[in-house]
Amino acid sequence: MQTTCVKIDVFMLRTRRFVRSSTQKVATLLGLRSSDIEPASREPTPITPLPQPNSRFQNLREEDNARKVQKIDMDRTPPQVEKSPRPKEDRTASPRSRYHSEIKATSPPVSVAPSKEIRAAGQYSQEVEYSNSPIVIDCGSGYMKAGFANEDKPTTVFPTIVGRPRKGIVVGAAGRSSYVGEGAQSMRGVLSFKYPIDRGVVTDWDDMEKIWQHCFANELCVDPQLHPVLLTEIPNNPTANRERMTQIMFELFNVPAMYVTVQAILSLLSTGNLTGLAVDSGEGITNIVPIYEGYPLTYAISKLNLAGKDLNEYLMRLINQRGYSLSTTTEKELVRDMKETMCYVSQDFENELSTAETRLSLESQFKLPDGNFIHIANERFICPEALFDPTVLGHKTGGIHININKSILKCDRDLQRNLYKKIVLAGGSTLFPGLEARLKTELSRLVPDYTVQILAEPDRQYSVWKGGAALASLSTFENMYITNQEYYEVGPNIVNIKCF
């Protein structure tokens, strides 16, 4: 028996020597150390359970990774949160607490803001801030244009509206309380609409939060914690609105960095100029802004509460005078389509109006979804004429050409000549055929001693966004951002210090 045990021990010893020798030979051939390919120990390695998703955007991050400029390794382990019933919303609470109480019932919470210790040590999101392409969001009264700074055009353009089911109507199996953008428009028959931006100024911040959340999660499909954000605003935006916008971006969406700038500056920048006069006419407002070396001359800014929305209502009134009856939300959208596809600016309004009845070629028809047609003729050029004669809409101010001239004359005399040479048109309400030529004619009559030049890009409805993308793509722009750390050190007032 002892002899057998000795033989077994000798055999095991020789086996170990053989394995060790073979291991060393293999290591030598592969250029490795023998320790790199040692047999694993007999003790099983404990299996670490997979971590739970660390934000409601976890599934979206996989798609977002394809857009990264460089690979980022984020090591965050959030606390496990048990599901709880949906709490009653507290409108007096801070934006962050309301946001998290809203999403707890459906998904794990978004990662909270960094602790004071981490911010003090300067270890938070220093790589994340500038490694991903910045997101540019042009917040318009009628449409939201959003996309990435490294792209040529906005990734998404959707209506800036929030729709809610009308009283007594339950929409969908889930019974959602609100719908945003195209989703709301597609259900216009059972929803009541609200526009959170009126004449360029945010008037309903709760709905504005919903629109931004929809933009990040459903339109761009990104986690806002991974991208710097550039937002646009109208000239002379109220200070309280600027601070509220900043608070929402940092406390609600936890963006790593952000910047806010005036839309007119970006529209001028999209043409490659830093000095000029920007005429930005969108859905809710027309702003005329003289700009010198990238800075708006606030004392000479002119504002007209006359834009696309007013022209839509005016055209509807003109069409109804023909005997039609258009009033519903769906019909208003049809009128918008008619304005955008059929209207133009006349070069000689009085003469064309007098000959319109004898010109059969002027009459045009618009096909409705039900197969019927709406016939219009001189309404095609009467509607845009309101831009040059706002009195037809009840306004006591002069036309767009009068306000442009007044704005330039308020500037320094040495600057006026350059401003007349660089008048930049931007916004959807400047897309009417003939507007550029008519505007040049009217201004040349007012200032015959100056050379008037109008710059009108073909896709100028996106001029503000394209200018923002160009600005956010500059390497030097990183120094202009408001960082997450700066926000938590100074507070919302930081936007008035760094973004002016």
Assigned token pair, 348 = 């000689």
Give the DSSP H or E segment for 491.
none
Per-residue model confidence (pLDDT) at position 51: 37
pLDDT at 360: 64
Residue type at position 324: Y
Phi, psi of 210 (to 5 degrees): -65, -40
Angle, helix 400-409 to helix 435-446, in steps of 10 degrees: 50
Task: Pinpoint the alpha helices (H) of 65-142.
Answer: 95-103, 116-121, 128-131
For residue 228, the surrounding DSSP H or E stretch is: none
Instruction: Domain 135-262+463-499: give its CATH code.
Output: 3.30.420.40
Residues of the chain with CATH 3.90.640.10: 307-396
* CATH 3.30.420.40 domain position(s) in the chain: 135-262+463-499
**Count of alpha carbons within 13 angstroms of residue 458, beta-carbon side:** 1
For 176, 190, 204, 249, 492, the CA distances from 485, given in Å and listed in that order, are: 36, 45, 28, 13, 12
Listed as ranges, residues in the chain with pLDDT below 70 are: 1-131, 168-175, 358, 360-361
- Amino acid at site 336: R
Q: Architecture of domain 307-396 in CATH?
A: Alpha-Beta Complex (3.90)
Distances (CA, A) of 275 to 254, 315, 423, 427: 35, 35, 10, 19
Q: What is the pLDDT of residue 169?
A: 62
Q: 410: Cβ–Cβ under 8 A, 6 or more apart, which residues?
A: 290, 297, 299, 300
Q: How many CB atoms lie within 10 A of CB 436?
A: 16
DSSP state of 140: -
Contact 407, 251 (CB under 8 A): no
